[in-house]
Amino acid sequence: MAFLRDVTGSRKAVDHLRRAILADRVSHAYLICGDSASDKDVLAQAFATTLQCTTLAGRLHQSSISADEVDACGTCRSCIQAQDHNQPDLLTWTHDKPKTFSVEDARRLVADVQIRPFSSTRKIYIIPDAHLMNAEAQNTLLKTLEEPPEYVVLLLLADSAEMMLETIRSRCVLIELDSSGAVLGEEALELGMRILLTVKEWTLPQILDAVRELSQYKLTIGQFLDLFTSWYRDLLYFKAAADPDMLLHRDYVSQIRSAAALSSYEGIQRILSALQTAAARLRANVNFELTMELLLLTMKEN
């Protein structure tokens, strides 16, 4: 479960959202932009969970609290439902094709918005990859942004505000995340590099052990996926250009050289595709252990 207090990057964004909740001035739409999909998702999940927290709502009405105290309690019915991914009024809006957000997807969203909340005062939609909407899909969503139902909050996650139409941007509160974002801690980074450097040698029981270790980092698993992606992009680049100066992981040049020599272009591309698939599955709340096991098996076999 995501808490605002656990969002280690983008403190300005967290402070802004906390003050909005405290002042009861939450907008009907936010455009959350940044390079890291995991940072955007963690912030959106934490904000949405906090908005739905019934314990916090009671405190806001009954007593004076500071902005630093604005956060989900983690124990009320709504928070427990959010943790189990079954809060009926907190929805992550997925689209049919991983790299496309079609006008049909937008129309389904517009239709669903008209259905009132099931058990909460708000109905919150987290919309990953909003930048994938073409102009027609964005225009389909525009009327909802212009005349939203009073109970709706839309959290559009995009790589860049410039990828959205000006008419969309002007009707959302823009939240731009720090490019630095949150980083993996020392132990987590050690685990991630151990996986990258040795996974090809592992047996299935060793892979399952690694998945269990990764399960301790579910909240920040996107940062592991970002690490893995940058590593395999380095492999692909080095295999093509043999130039160490442009690598992100220059401290591991010898390991990258060896891995690139043993890997095919097709195998590296399969792993990069599997990383995208894993990220999409996790956003859709597919079983964590199964998703990561399939990913690590792909990394081992290619």
C-alpha closest to that of 175 among 5, 23, 41: 41
pLDDT tens for residues 41-68? 889 999 999 999 999 999 988 778 888 8
Quote the percentage of the chain above a pLDDT of 90: 54
Quote the percentage of the chain above a pLDDT of 70: 96
Confidence of residue 246 (pLDDT cuts 50, 70, 90): low
Can you list the positions of beta strands (E) in the chain? 29-33, 90-92, 123-127, 152-158, 173-176
Residue 181 lies in a domain: no
Its pTM surpasses 0.75: no
Domains held by the chain: number: 2
Same domain (yes/no): 44, 129: yes
pLDDT of residue 9: 61
Same domain (yes/no): 101, 67: yes
pLDDT tens for residues 258-283? 999 999 999 999 999 999 899 888 87
CB atoms near residue 156 (< 10 Å) = 29
216-219: long-range contacts, CB 8 A cutoff, minimum separation 24: 217/188, 217/191, 218/288, 219/1, 219/2, 219/6, 219/42
Same domain (yes/no): 199, 266: yes
pLDDT of residue 130: 92
In the chain the first and final C-alpha atoms are separated, in Å, by: 33
- Assign residue 238 the CATH number of its domain: 1.20.272
Confidence of residue 127 (pLDDT cuts 50, 70, 90): very high
Confidence of residue 180 (pLDDT cuts 50, 70, 90): very low
Taking phi over 0 as left and psi of -120 to 50 as alpha, with beta for the rest, 72 belongs to beta
Q: Could you tell me if 46 and 6 are in contact, meaning their C-beta atoms sit under 8 angstroms apart?
A: yes
Expressed as residue numbers, the domain containing 258 is 186-301
Answer with the one of 115, 149, 176 that is the final residue of a domain: 176
Q: Facing residues of 176 across strands?
A: 33
Confidence of residue 178 (pLDDT cuts 50, 70, 90): low
Q: Is residue 231 over pLDDT 50?
A: yes
